[in-house]
Amino acid sequence: MDIKQLNYFLAIVEEGNITKAAERLHIAQPHLTQQLKLIEDELKVKLIERSTRKFQITDAGKKLWHRSKQMIELMESTVKELKDFNEGLEGTLSIGTISSSGDILLPQRICSFNKKYPNINFEIREGSTSEILELLKSGLIEIGIIRTPLNSEIYESISLPSEPMVAATSDSTYWENNEKTIYLKDLADKPLLVHRRYEKAIVELCSQAGFEPRILCKIEDTRSILLLAKTGMGVAIVPKDWIELIPNAKLSYKEINEPSLNTSTTIIWMKDQYLSSIAKHFLRTFEV
C-alpha cells in the first residue's frame, strides 16, 4: 500500500461513490475498483461494503480513512520541511491554537511577521488543548498555542505574562460593592459559568475556601461563556484577556484575588524534533 493508494481510498470515501471518485481522480472506474480490492486484500479486512444500491464504509475503513488523512498531511509537511533551506524566507508555517488565543494573540503577531517575511504562508488549525497536543505529536503542526497549565515534559515552551481570572457579568447587582477585586468566597452564592478546562481547579479552590460552587453551566467554547454572561444569567469565570473576545458585550468584571488561578498563554513545540527555520524565526518574536 502506497501514498497513491491512500489518496485513492480518501477520494472513494469522500465522494461516497467509486464512479464519482474515479472521475475526480481522472482514472478509469475499473482501475479504481481494482486498487480498492488490492488494499483490502493486502490488509485482509473489508473497508467498504458496496452493492448496486448501497455504499457504506466499515469501522476498519473509518480507521484507515482517519490515518490516511494524517499520513498524507504528514508527508506534505515533511516535503515542506525538506525544501526549507533558505532560512525561513519562503514556505508554510503550521500553527495550532485554542480559539481564544487564535483571536487575541495571532492576528497581530502574524501581521507583523508577514511584513518581515512576505513569502511565508500560514496554516492555522483551531482546537481544544488536547487536540493541539495531538497535532503536535503527530507532526501536523510545528507550533501550538494553548493556556497553562501544561503537564508534560515532552514539549519546549515560552510562557507569556500571566493573567488573573476575573468574574465577568452584565449585571452589577451581583456585587454589593465597587471594589475592583473579589475573593473566591464572594462567589459562594453566584451562578457560575466556567470553562471545562478550569472547572476542576475552581471547584477545588472553592472547597478549600469552605463552600461548594454553584456551577450553572460548563462550556468548551469561550465565546459562549461570555455571551451567556451578557444575558445576565450568571457570572463567567475566565482569564482576564478573554474579555476582549467580544468587544461589544459591555461586560463588567472583577479580578479574583486567587494567584493559583492565574493562567498564561503558552507557545509550545516538541522537544528533540526537527523545527523548520520558519518556525524558529516565528518563535523568536515571542522572546523579544
CATH 3.40.190.10 region(s) of the chain?
88-161+265-284, 165-261
Annotation: CATH topology of 165-261: D-Maltodextrin-Binding Protein; domain 2 (3.40.190)
List, for residues 114-155, the tens digit of each pLDDT value.
998 888 999 999 888 889 999 999 889 999 999 887 777 889
* C-alpha to C-alpha distance for 37 and 41, rounded to whole angstroms: 6
Give, rounded to a whole angstrom, the gap between the first and last alpha carbons of the chain: 47
CATH 1.10.10.10 region(s) of the chain?
3-79
* C-alpha to C-alpha distance for 37 and 46, rounded to whole angstroms: 9
Domain 88-161+265-284 architecture: 3-Layer(aba) Sandwich (3.40)
pLDDT above 60 (res 87) = no
pLDDT above 60 (res 28) = yes
What CATH number was assigned to the domain covering residues 3-79? 1.10.10.10
- Nearest CA to 215 among 231, 230, 199, 229? 199
* C-alpha to C-alpha distance for 251 and 269, rounded to whole angstroms: 35
Three-state DSSP state, 144: strand
List, for residues 45-59, the tens digit of each pLDDT value.
999 887 666 788 999
